[in-house]
A and B are shown apart, each in its own frame.
Chain A
Amino acid sequence: KNQVEQSPQSLIILEGKNCTLQCNYTVSPFSNLRWYKQDTGRGPVSLTIMTFSENTKSNGRYTATLDADTKQSSLHITASQLSDSASYICVVSPGGYNKLIFGAGTRLAVHP
């Protein structure tokens, strides 16, 4: 069964600290892996998209990694800011937007 599992479920960090969110997937075939940021009450916003051949992609203070062999991805946030407080969703695509497999997300709270 195609699944995307994220950990931890929730995380609290202090402003300025770094953190890493994890994503494990069992999706086949594999087309790409996406990370989204979702603020409370808003729609998800794309952070990174990685295909099979890419193992790192950055977007400002966000860096995503992909290990297609172990089917794991991580999202590293550097020098966290209060505005980073949100849910971070890992999404794996076997191909086609109607087939996206969404993780349940990691809820990150950044405290001053």
Chain B
Amino acid sequence: EAGVTQSPTHLIKTRGQQATLRCSPISGHTSVYWYQQALGLGLQFLLWYDEGEERNRGNFPPRFSGRQFPNYSSELNVNALELEDSALYLCANPGGTANEKLFFGSGTQLSVL
């Protein structure tokens, strides 16, 4: 069974541009979580999608947005990129109940120049 897959692996943009990151969840898993991992910092919760709807968002500005498609894959869009947006962006699926594993993709390394 394929795990959580993310694309692209690396993305290089310049300030002011837009970035689109993609996530395909584990087959049959409807819930997708996005996290940002800046260098040297702990992961920060960005967005949560379930059944095609945004359920919750973290403490990030509105230029961070996304959507979930009918097949449960998801996109994260970052508009008006700033240098501090450079980070590893991780997508994750929960395993079931709140005490079960969270399965992460390998992430997209976004570099803003």
Residues of A within 8 A of B (CB): 4, 31-32, 34, 41-46, 49, 51, 89, 93, 95-105
Measured CA separation A44–B8 after assembly (Å): 18
Interface residues of A: mostly helix, strand, loop or mixed? mixed
Q: Are A32 and B99 neighbours in the complex by a CB distance under 8 Å?
A: yes
Q: Are A49 and B48 neighbours in the complex by a CB distance under 8 Å?
A: no
Q: Tell yes or no: B109 within 8 A of A by CB.
A: yes
Q: Are A104 and B45 neighbours in the complex by a CB distance under 8 Å?
A: no
Q: Are A97 and B99 neighbours in the complex by a CB distance under 8 Å?
A: no
Instruction: Name the residue among A44, A49, A105 with the largest chain B CB count within 10 angstroms.
Output: A44
Contact of B101 among A4, A46, A89, A98 (CB under 8 A): A46
Q: Are A97 and B33 neighbours in the complex by a CB distance under 8 Å?
A: yes
